[in-house]
Structure 1
Amino acid sequence: MSYVSEFSAATPDEAIAHFQRRLNVETDCADVHAAIENHDMDFVLLHVVGSAQAFARRHIPGALHLPHRLMTAERMNEWPPETLFVVYCAGPHCNGADRAALKLAQLGRPVKLMIGGLTGWEDEGLAFATS
């Protein structure tokens, strides 16, 4: 028996529930890029780590720089309560986006994490913005 089959696969209903939950809280670089390219950004994209200088050097087009440590109820009141936020950080080696997503959820805000972050964006060969 291989390590793959050592544990039985989930039932189809369990798999549906699992992947639906993941898609409720995650998106990916390709989907964010498509929304940007199609002028269909029905979310606010937040770059949630690093300094203003690092953000100016390289960020995803359309993103706002709002480090997770600066997210407060007062600051988030700049947007209507139903606003969907998509957060990203440096990449899989960084938990800043997880921290931001948790904080936004605790503030009662809809949020998704863009898996891959800047590393994923670069791996996809997508262009960065500078300011």
Structure 2
Amino acid sequence: MNPVTAIPAADPVRAVAHFTDRLRLETDCADVHAAMQTRDPGFVLLDVRGPDAYARGHVPGAMNLPHCTISDETLKRWPAGTLFVVYCAGPHCNGADKAAAKLGAHGKRVKLMLGGITGWQDEGFPLATG
């Protein structure tokens, strides 16, 4: 027995439910990149870092809405039912988690882009500045 097999794998039905649930909450940089190349990606991409970090480099097409500023007032420009995808600096940062929790608390649909800006750059995708 080894650390991988010491705990039996989940039943396939449970595995499908678990991983499908994860996909309801998360997406990755490659899928966001592909969607952003279309005329209508079907979501609003939010960079939830501070304005200085956003200006230094962000995902093209992302809007800056720092997680600490999410409120009914800052969200009113988007219609009900809007899907948001959020990202922050990367795996070492929980700003996207904070933003996703706040968006959910405001009744918004949300997914987190795994890897954040670090993952985006690791994939070799370009950044926009300004």
Q: Which TM-score applies when normalising by structure 1?
A: 0.96
Residue equivalent to 2:66: 67
Shift of the alpha carbon at 1:39? 2.6
Q: Distance in 2 between matches of 1:114 and 1:128?
A: 15
Distance 1:111 1:69 in 2: 16
Residue 102 of structure 2 aligns with an amino acid whose one-letter code is K
Equivalence map 1:1-131=2 (5 Å): 1-50=1-50, 52-131=51-130
Deviations 1:12-68 (A, max 9, x none): 110011001100000000000001112331100000012x22211100000000001
Q: Deviations over 1:62-113 (max 9, x none)?
A: 0000001100012211111100000000000000000000000010000000
What one-letter code is carried by the residue in structure 2 that aligns with 1:21? D
1:113 maps to amino acid: L
Counterpart CA distance in 2 for 1:75 and 1:38 is 26
Give the letter aligned to residue 38 of structure 1. Answer: T
Q: Which runs of 5+ in 2 are unaligned?
A: none
